[in-house]
Amino acid sequence: DLAKRNEDMYLFSPYDVERVYGKPFGDISVSDHYAEMVEDPRITKKKINARHFFQTVAELQFESGYPYIMFEDTVNNANPVKTGRINMSNLCSEILQVNSPSSFNDDLSYEEMGSDISCNLGSMNIALAMDSPDFGGTVEAAIRGLTAVADKTAIDSVPSIRHGNDQSHAIGLG
């Protein structure tokens, strides 16, 4: 909205936001807290032109394909499974699932195990798949294969990923 109206926007110091709110910047909904962060003198901020910022991002995306952008409000509003807040995705945004941080004891054992994201992704040659006499069966076979991968994924060295995978069972097929 700010870019559409050619207004200024603020960038916030993640360190200051965490100090003031008591949780990491990435765990805070900027949309919900934007106005109060702008007004809070304890948070260092920088004013920039929103339209110029998004124009620069658009030019970079056109030239290189980067950066990838996930619109957090849209993702959370469209999420049919309301088990928590989605605040990140994998690079291409095929996997959007709720995650939660782990906390650790001094000996690095889990105080509380969080849920991290597991990207179980597959791809098909769309031209060949569309030529299949049974397109639905082809897609179903691919989904069954990805489901088997998700079911068999055992990341013992990172239990929080296994926990998140067991909870969400996220797969992506493209």
153 and 76 co-located in one domain: yes
Residue in 115, 114, 91 with CA at minimum distance from that of residue 103: 114
- Separation of alpha carbons 110 and 105, rounded Å: 6
Tokens of residue 59, six digits: 């030019």
Distance separating alpha carbons of residues 8 and 142, to the nearest angstrom: 47
pLDDT digits (tens, 9 = 90+) for 5-56: 999 999 999 999 999 999 999 888 899 999 999 999 999 999 999 999 999 9
Q: Which domain holds residue 158?
A: 72-173
Residue 91 inside a domain? The answer is yes
Residue range 59-100, pLDDT digits in tens:
999 999 888 888 888 998 898 888 888 888 877 787 788 888
Q: Does 48 lie in the same domain as 23?
A: yes
- Which of 6, 92, 112, 140 is catalytic? The answer is 92
Catalytic residue among 49, 79, 94, 119: 94
* Catalytic, out of 49, 76, 79, 90: 90
Residues 143 and 168 in one domain: yes
Q: Is 92 among the residues known to form the active site?
A: yes
Catalytic residue check, 63: no
Q: Considering the domain boundaries, does residue 2 fall inside one? A: no
User: What pTM was computed for the model?
Assistant: 0.68
Q: Establish whether 39 is a catalytic residue.
A: no
Residue 162 lies in a domain: yes
Q: Are residues 59 and 113 in the same domain?
A: no
Which residue in this structure is represented by tokens 């709720």? 98
Residue 119 burial (C-beta neighbours within 10 Å; 0-12, 13-18, 19+): middle
